[in-house]
Structure 1
Amino acid sequence: MRGLIKFIIAILIAAVSLVTYWCNTEQNEFTGEEQHVDMTVEQEIALGLQAAPEMASQYGGLHPDKEAANRIKEIGQQIVQQTDAGNSPYKFDFHLLADEQTVNAFALPGGQIFITAGLLRRLSTEGQVAGVLGHEIGHVVARHSAEQLAKAKLTQGLTGAAAIATYDPNNPASQTGAIAAAMIGKLLNMSYGREDELESDRLAVRLTGESGYDPRAMLEVMRILEEASGGSASGPEFAQTHPNPGNRIAEIEQAIQEEFPERLPAGLTP
Structure 2
Amino acid sequence: MRFIARLLFGIIAAIVALFTYFTSTQENPITGEKQHVRMTPEQEIALGIQSAPQVAKQFGGLHPASQVQQQVKAVGQKLVRQSSVRDSPYQFDFHVLADPRTVNAFAIPGGQIFITAAMLSRMKTEDQLAGVLAHEITHVVGRHSAEQMAKQQLTQGLAGAAAVALSNPDAPGASAAIARYAANLVTLKFGRDDEIESDQLGVKWMIEAGYNPEAMVEVMEILKAAGGSRQPTEFASTHPNPDNRIQRIREAIGTYRGQAPAGSSR
Q: Provide the TM-score with structure 2 as the length reference.
A: 0.83
SS of the aligned residue for 1:102 comes to coil
- Identity across aligned pairs (percent)? 53
Aligned to 2:14: 14
Task: Please state how far the C-alpha of 1:217 moved relative to its aligned partner.
Answer: 0.8
Q: How many correspondences in the alignment?
A: 251
* 2:226 alignment partner in structure 1: 228
Task: Return closer, same or farther for 1:251/1:166 CA change in 2, 3 Å cut-off.
Answer: farther
DSSP-derived class of the 2:95 partner = strand
Distance in 2 between the 1:241 and 1:154 partners? Answer: 22
Q: Please report how far the alpha carbon of residue 156 of structure 1 lies from its aligned counterpart in structure 2 after TM superposition.
A: 1.5
Deviations 1:55-91 (A, max 9, x none): 1122122212222221111111111110121122211
1:123 aligns with 123
How far off its partner does 1:257 sit?
2.3
RMSD: 3.0
User: 2-side partners of 1:182 and 1:67: how far apart?
Assistant: 41
**Match of 1:250?**
247
AA in 2 matched with 1:194: R
Letter in 2 for 1:226: K
Residue 209 in structure 1 maps to residue 191 in structure 2: no
CA 1:81–1:233 in 2, change beyond 3 Å: closer, same or farther?
same
Q: Is 1:141 equivalent to 2:138 in the alignment?
A: no
What SS class does the counterpart of residue 26 from structure 1 fall into?
strand
C-alpha displacement of 1:159: 3.2
1:199 aligned residue: 197
Between the aligned partners of 1:55 and 1:185, the Cα distance in structure 2 is: 16
Partner of 2:57: 57
1:24–1:38 contact (8 Å) kept in structure 2: yes
Q: Which moved more, 1:74-83 or 1:91-100?
A: 91-100
- The DSSP-based 3-state class of the residue aligned with 1:30 is coil
Match of 2:155 in 1: 155
Q: Which moved more, 1:251-260 or 1:90-99?
A: 251-260
Relative to structure 1, is the Cα distance of residues 190 and 73 closer, same or farther in structure 2, using a 3 angstrom cutoff?
closer
Q: How far apart, in 2, do the equivalents of 1:45 and 1:167 lie?
A: 38
2:13 counterpart letter in structure 1: I
Q: Is the 8 A contact 1:209 1:268 kept in 2?
A: no
> Which structure 1 segments of 5+ residues have no match?
170-174, 235-239
Q: Which digits, 9 at most, give the CA deviation of each residue in 1:25-65, with x for residues without a partner?
A: 11000000001112111111111111111111221222122
**1:208 Cα deviation after fit:** 0.5
Distance 1:76 1:251 in 2: 23
SS at match of 1:90: coil
Unaligned runs of 5+ in 2: none
Aligned to 1:87: 87
The amino acid of 2:119's aligned partner reads L
Cα deviation for residue 211 of structure 1 reads 0.4
1:115 alignment partner, SS class:
strand
> Separation in 1 of the partners of 2:115 and 2:77?
14
Alpha-carbon displacement from aligned partner over 1:203-222 (angstroms, at most 9, x marks no partner): 10110011001111111111
Q: Say if 1:95 and 1:218 are closer, same or farther in 2 by CA, change over 3 A.
A: same
Between the aligned partners of 1:191 and 1:105, the Cα distance in structure 2 is: 13
CA contact (8 A) 2:152 2:181 kept: no
- Whether the aligned pair in 1 keeps the contact of 2:60 and 2:98 (CA below 8 Å) is yes
